[in-house]
Chain A
Amino acid sequence: MTTYLVRRLLQTIVVIFGVTILSFFALHLAGDPTYLYVSERATDEEVAETRAKLGFDKPLHEQYFSYVVGLATLDLGNSLRSRTPAFELVMERMPATLELTIFAILFATLLAIPIGILSATRRGTPLDGGIMLFAMFGQSMPSFWLGIMLILVVGLWLRWLPISGQVPIIQPLLDGDFQTAITNFPDAIRHLILPGITLGVFSLARNARLVRSSMLEVLNQDYVTTAKAKGLARHTVIMRHAFRNSLIPFVTIIGLEFGFLLSGVVVTETVFSWPGVGRLVFNAINQRDIPVVQAAVVMFSLLFVLLNLIVDVVYTRLDPRIRLS
């Protein structure tokens, strides 16, 4: 196990290194952002001076080398716009993004399991058809559209939930202020529902379909037939024999799911004015604030790779036949 973990961690470093190369050169190939950071009346000398201040006057390979050296010490440079460390800017907003992503992943997985099982065990019924229709809609709707519709219907017409904004839970916890975290909790959930649904509905639909097809496959296995023949109760057959085995492909995609949801926060956070990393990246891309975009990409990649590692370890617990080696 230890050897496996060490090997995976080394692989993680290689992956992150690859991500830095791709993101660095992709961002720099889009052109020199200096002109966005000078007055429109700036002379050629002033432009050159600003370019030097921002560090864009050096050859690209030198800039990349400085960036990688900084990365080793978590110094990802300063935001071109706010002049504060890019890593700090990303980490300041990470709790808000994690709240939203965790809520969305819970929404997408906890609801997908009963929906998928229900659909599989009622295969061919109108209920199954309805669920699959919902799943198709869930996967077809663009998140920005769904977000705006939820704002209009739930937030504006029905006035049930807040339209935008965030009430923090994780940040107070990190600050050791448990009282505030507890006090904020009910209101935080109210603020999380609309963006959480917007972010998670695609995953919910996909997961429900996955659980359904996985269950259908398992329900046709001989050992399930044997369990039924033994006279076991239906729920015992489904939950104890079929469901656990059908979970394996589902667990596999949870890690990937997290990465998918992280990429989705850019749109959702913008629509719901959620103060997370997604919005930070959205603004940074618009302003060509390269250090901030790079810092966010590296942090997202790191989270994604580590979560997949955790999923792989959990995998072995679900199916003892699988060996990490």
Chain B
Amino acid sequence: MSKLSRRGWVSLALLLVLLVSTACTAMPAAPAGDSGAAGEAAATEAASGEPQRLVVAQSVDVQGLEPSNVNSRAESNIFTHMYATLYEITESGAIEPYLAESYTLSEDGKEMTFKLREGLVCHDGEALTAEDVAYTFERAADDANAFTGNTAGFVLDALDYQGVRVDSDLEVTILMGRYSSPALGLISEAFIHCKDSYEAMSLEDAAANPIGSGPYRFVEWVKDDYVLLEKVPDYGLKDVAYDEIQWKVIPEASTRTAELIAGNVDVITNVPPDQHAAIDGSGEASVNGVAGTRRMYVGFNQRDIYDDTEGGRAIKDPAVRVALQYAVDVPTICQTLLSFDCERASSMVNKPNDNANLEPYPYDPVKAGELLDAAGYPLKDDGTRFDITFMAGRGRYLNDVAVVQAIAQYLTDAGVNVDLQIMDWGSEFVPALRLHEVGPLYFVGTGGSTWSAVYDMSDLSAPDAATNYTEWNNQEWFDLWAQLGEVRDAAAEKEITDKMLEVMYNDPPWLFLYFQPDFYGVASDVDWQPRRDEIIDLTTASPK
């Protein structure tokens, strides 16, 4: 019995080994969605004449393929390849013609007329004319469709959209309730689609069968797995190097890193700082970091609801707010916690549209102390100047918890007794932020642009604006903001915005920090550079 038993176990073990080794060595051709297959294919495709595929891994999937319901940058990056826009924002922040070849603005600034290029077509072969552009805007604005995406939920509101007029086959006019300096950039975010194609589909069908106007057309979406696009043959508006691009969904950052090093994907997004060394040391890929356009700051909430707190009263004094700028060593925070050499922000506006004359506040704790002394907040016997609450959400920004802990420590070192409250982002922090009930200090980052100072400054368009979370109310700033609506000349606008940023510098509603860096992992055999504005433009990518 004993012998037989042992033999039985040995047989079982051999069977298991056989099964595992069979599974590990048998490498049948994998289906299209298999990332392993993607990497293997990439290595041989050039030689075999197969389509060249670029595989990008990001953390989230699209929620649908409806061009008017795009809700996030991750989605918009896919749509940008399927749909063209009237104008497009380039990497440098210039706004250049795309489907349109030119535009004119009416004298009152409320009508923007676009002249389309000739011979445009959508992916199903339908001619793309002014009527289709008009349809795109009307469809997004139609309440019956209940779209909540960027075009319907933000662009149209920001434009004070009043309607659209078809002037001829190739001319279309967008009607706005008021002049808006960033209008062209905002309109450049609307994905243009053809009327006949979309009218023939229900909303459900349209959300599953995108018919675009861009350089790549839709092939397949396997939910939570990938979206596959293929190059549109003879697309005249852009010359692209890759025949196919696949957007894979890999939620876990370390898994994305492993897939990149293994050669199964070509580009990955949101690489955490702790994985930079592994990628750079692999020889297979490298990390490309870029200072993004998201403005990270500590807000000074000046609402009266904080008047019964020491800190709430203190930060109402501009001298205190200026003093605290000197108390935080922002470059060190960037280097140690974000693995990036960032330049400290001097205002809320991204380069190159900022006021170049404003020097970022240096880290000077002695000066911070002197200024706080002078403002009437000397060190007390317990070594503190005043108590203040500092609120932050968890898990929304790069290393956010570590960053706010560091800031809190710097402020503590300056004698500010900080009560740091780290909250759940979605359920606690965001609802309070929207009600302007975070503070008196709070940490947040808001999206900015490379193409318009006014766009970046529109967070503070009014004392009670939804995004003026501090309820900062500097009369000079808002007087100048009103003047912006009167000028049409870029130089005159620049003069005003520079003056406004100087006002902000001396009466800061924010403790200026940094523009959040974005990190991408890029395979060694791919030539691609990331942009500052979080747009992943793969039309500029090519094999090395």
A residues with a Cβ closer than 8 A to B are 30-33, 35-44, 46-47, 50, 53, 79, 81-84, 92-93, 114, 118, 148, 151-152, 155-156, 159-167, 184, 186-187, 189-191, 193, 233-236, 238, 270-273, 275-276, 279-280, 282-283, 286-288
Task: Looking at the assembled complex, report how far the CB atom of A94 sits from the nearest CB atom of chain B, in whole angstroms.
Answer: 12
List the 4 closest A-B pairs by CB distance, nearest first.
A275-B224, A234-B1, A82-B63, A160-B24
Candidates B2, B20, B427; contact of A288 at CB < 8 Å: B427
**Minimum CB distance partner of A114 in chain B:** B12
Contact at A40–B466, with CB atoms within 8 Å? yes
Contact at A81–B158, with CB atoms within 8 Å? no
Q: Of B33-41, B313-321, B412-420, B510-518, which binds chain A?
A: B33-41
Contacts of A53 in B (CB 8 A): 146
Candidates B36, B255, B465; contact of A151 at CB < 8 Å: B255
B254 at the interface (CB under 8 A from A): yes
Tally of A-B Cβ pairs under 8 angstroms: 156
Contact at A165–B35, with CB atoms within 8 Å? yes
B31 at the interface (CB under 8 A from A): yes
Task: Looking at the assembled complex, report how far the CB atom of A27 sits from the nearest CB atom of chain B, in whole angstroms.
Answer: 10
Contacts of B426 in A (CB 8 A): 33, 36, 286-288
Contact at B1–A235, with CB atoms within 8 Å? yes
Contacts of A280 in B (CB 8 A): 224
Contacts of A83 in B (CB 8 A): 64, 69, 207
Report B187-245 residues with CB < 8 Å from chain A CB: 204, 207, 222-225
Contact at B24–A190, with CB atoms within 8 Å? yes
Q: Of B259-267, B301-309, B401-409, which binds chain A?
A: B259-267
Contacts of A184 in B (CB 8 A): 31
Alpha-carbon distance A166/B446, docked complex (angstroms): 36
B543 at the interface (CB under 8 A from A): no
B51 at the interface (CB under 8 A from A): no
B397 at the interface (CB under 8 A from A): no
The number of chain B residues with a CB under 8 A from chain A is: 61
Candidates B1, B12, B33, B465; contact of A165 at CB < 8 Å: B33
Contact at B262–A41, with CB atoms within 8 Å? no
Task: Looking at the assembled complex, report how far the CB atom of B41 sits from the nearest CB atom of chain A, in whole angstroms.
Answer: 14
Task: Looking at the assembled complex, report how far the CB atom of A179 sits from the nearest CB atom of chain B, in whole angstroms.
Answer: 13
Contact at B431–A31, with CB atoms within 8 Å? yes
Alpha-carbon distance A222/B12, docked complex (angstroms): 30
Task: Looking at the assembled complex, report how far the CB atom of B437 sits from the nearest CB atom of chain A, in whole angstroms.
Answer: 12
Task: Looking at the assembled complex, report how far the CB atom of B116 sits from the nearest CB atom of chain A, in whole angstroms.
Answer: 28
Contact at A92–B28, with CB atoms within 8 Å? no
User: Can you list 22 A-B pairs with a CB-CB distance of less than 8 A?
Assistant: A33-B426, A35-B431, A39-B154, A43-B466, A81-B71, A83-B69, A114-B12, A148-B252, A151-B258, A164-B35, A167-B33, A186-B23, A187-B30, A187-B34, A233-B1, A233-B4, A235-B4, A273-B255, A275-B222, A275-B224, A283-B251, A288-B426
Report B518-536 residues with CB < 8 Å from chain A CB: none
**Minimum CB distance partner of B26 in chain A:** A186
Contact at A271–B255, with CB atoms within 8 Å? yes
Alpha-carbon distance A280/B427, docked complex (angstroms): 19
Contacts of B225 in A (CB 8 A): 165-166, 273, 275
Contact at A31–B427, with CB atoms within 8 Å? yes
Contacts of A152 in B (CB 8 A): 258
B48 at the interface (CB under 8 A from A): no
Contact at B262–A155, with CB atoms within 8 Å? yes
Task: Looking at the assembled complex, report how far the CB atom of A110 sits from the nearest CB atom of chain B, in whole angstroms.
Answer: 10
Interface centre among A162, A164, A190, A238 (most CB of B within 10 A): A164
Contact at A39–B4, with CB atoms within 8 Å? no
B178 at the interface (CB under 8 A from A): no
Interface centre among A37, A165, A189 (most CB of B within 10 A): A165
Contact at B23–A234, with CB atoms within 8 Å? no
Contact at B36–A162, with CB atoms within 8 Å? yes
Alpha-carbon distance A44/B465, docked complex (angstroms): 10
Contact at B2–A234, with CB atoms within 8 Å? yes
Contacts of A276 in B (CB 8 A): 224
Alpha-carbon distance A33/B207, docked complex (angstroms): 23
Alpha-carbon distance A46/B465, docked complex (angstroms): 13
Contacts of A187 in B (CB 8 A): 28, 30-31, 34
Contact at B223–A93, with CB atoms within 8 Å? yes
Alpha-carbon distance A272/B225, docked complex (angstroms): 11
Contacts of A32 in B (CB 8 A): 431
Alpha-carbon distance A165/B249, docked complex (angstroms): 9
